[in-house]
Amino acid sequence: MRKLLIVIIGLSFLSFHSCQNESEKESSVKEETIVMEPTIIDDGRVSLNLNAMQKNHQLSNMRSHLEAVQEITLLLSQDNYEKASELAYTKLGSTTEMKLMCASFGDKGFENLGLEFHKSADIMSEVFKKRNKDNSLTALSNTLNYCVKCHATYKQ
């Protein structure tokens, strides 16, 4: 056990030493202790004061939104307007599930912005059906603008 310890200490000294040779400058920087404490920074966004379960639910929903816009972008590039239109509505549109979700966080401003976002996705879904790429991209950008706006305004 002691022997093993000595070997480990010896090896770590060696690796430290070889790093020092590679970059004298870097190794002269003193080791810093990283403190893993949550720091609450006021970044000007409104906090929704969500509990752990709501946070989890919201983030998983958000990851699904991101996946949806990625898939939609690819489908548009392939002129697959039917599938893009279907995804726009089912994944981002004003479905009952989405409306309930927006209302469940207890903030009217957030709820309204969320509903406007879903409405923009309903419109996007209709625009895709007309199979015009420029208009489709403009509609997608319009919906993405709501992602940008909400993220700049609210946090968990």
- Six token digits for residue 58: 């919201």
Binding status of residue 73 toward ligand HEC by CB under 6 A? no
**Shortest distance (Å) from residue 60 CB to ligand HEC:** 7
Binding status of residue 154 toward ligand HEC by CB under 6 A? yes
**Shortest distance (Å) from residue 109 CB to ligand HEC:** 9
Please return the burial class of 140, using the count of CB atoms within 10 Å of its CB with bins 0-12, 13-18 and 19+.
buried
- Of positions 7, 11, 62, 74, contacts ligand HEC by CB under 6 A: 62
Binding status of residue 150 toward ligand HEC by CB under 6 A? yes
Name the site residues for ligand HEC (rule: CB under 6 A). Answer: 59, 62-63, 65-66, 69, 110, 113-114, 117, 146-147, 150-151, 154-156
